[in-house]
Amino acid sequence: MKIVEKIGVMQRLVQRARKSGRRIGFVPTMGYLHAGHMSLVAEARRRVGAKGLVVVSIYVNPTQFAPTEDLEKYPRNLERDRRLCRTAGVDVLFLPSDADMYPGRAAGHYSTYVVEECLSQGMEGACRTTHFRGVTTVVAKLFNCVLPDVTVFGAKDWQQAAVVRRMVADLNFPIEMVVAPTHREADGLAMSSRNAYLSAQERRQATVLWRVLVEARALVRRSANGVAAGSLKKTLAKRVAAEPDARLDYIECFDTGTLVPVGRVRRGTHVALAVYIGKTRLIDNAVL
Ligand code: AMP
């Protein structure tokens, strides 16, 4: 496995691989890798084949964190990440620096951003107003560094995947976008680097996100005409409130493709929620 830190080196490496007929598969991450990330790596490998080049980036992107968020304390363990990637058969681990990704930003001279103006407005975008601008900007930049044929994102961040898919289409990136299923712990908790913040007591309560989604699915499947979104959201919010350290940030029922909120929730409607467990903000979603 090659470790590449410089953007120019990364670009030359993939251009050479491409010339020799290899397909490039790319999984962007913020590191502190877990089995969810590695399932995206496996999917990237399936897509590009044994001869393809699988690239994983680890970059904790400052522009998608608000000043009040956890950029500084975001969990990091490069040694372990490196081992996991090597074992999973990753070909290139790309570790760009802040100085190369955002030249001049520390001195206030960085000024180009990519903004998706529709799908990024609700849910995560409403709660974290500069978040998706940071995401689309860094993903566009990473695409220009790695020049992939195919990129794999996780369904765990459903809105993010939708926003990036729209950006790929709108900006004509010649990249196939794949969204792979959410990987979960045995008790249903979606794997996340941020789960590392949870105390034992919080970890037990954190399963409420999955329990809420399972309950929503059962309620919808039991009713022939669907259920009113307002009353479903109220019922589910009560489940969250029953956990002593949980605080609901939002819960939304929406069309799985357009992300537009629906009035009636039926089979195939998507539900997403964000919940603070203590100080840790967790998100999850599922199609019902
Ligand atoms: P992150 O490192 O959290 O920015 O995530 C990098 C990529 O991994 C994103 O496309 C996420 O959606 C995806 N991802 C994170 N957690 C999971 C999970 N539990 N299952 C599948 N994909 C995931």
Domain limits of the chain?
2-180, 198-281
**Cβ-contact 241, 248 below 8 angstroms:** yes
User: What number of residues does the chain have?
Assistant: 288
| Ligand 1 midpoint to CA 230 (Å) | 29
Pocket probe mutation, ligand 1, options 26, 29, 280, max atoms within 8 Å of Cβ: 29
Predicted confidence at residue 166, as pLDDT, reads 98
What is the residue with the minimal CA distance to atom 13 of ligand 1? 154
| Ligand 1 midpoint to CA 185 (Å) | 14
Predicted confidence at residue 268, as pLDDT, reads 96
Q: Distances from the Cα of 215 to the Cαs of 170, 211, 219, 247, 256, in angstroms? A: 36, 6, 6, 18, 18
The CATH number assigned to the domain with range 2-180 reads: 3.40.50.620
- Find the residues whose C-beta lies inside 6 A of ligand 1: 29-30, 36-37, 39-40, 153-154, 156-157, 180, 182-183, 190-193
Closest to 60 in 3D by CA, of 52, 68, 72: 72
Predicted confidence at residue 120, as pLDDT, reads 98
Torsional sign, CA 278, 280, 281, 284:
negative
Predicted confidence at residue 31, as pLDDT, reads 98
Pocket probe mutation, ligand 1, options 39, 157, 280, max atoms within 8 Å of Cβ: 157
CATH architecture of 198-281: 2-Layer Sandwich (3.30)
Residue found under tokens 């790596």: 41
Is 37 annotated as catalytic? yes
Predicted confidence at residue 52, as pLDDT, reads 98
**What pTM value is reported for the model?**
0.97
Radius of gyration (C-alpha) of the chain in whole angstroms = 19
pLDDT tens for the chain, residues 1 to 288? 999 999 999 999 999 999 999 999 999 999 999 999 999 999 999 999 999 999 999 999 999 999 999 999 999 999 999 999 999 999 999 999 999 999 999 999 999 999 999 999 999 999 999 999 999 999 999 999 999 999 999 999 999 999 999 999 999 999 999 999 999 999 999 999 999 999 999 999 999 999 999 999 999 999 989 999 999 999 999 999 999 999 999 999 999 999 999 999 999 999 999 999 999 999 999 999
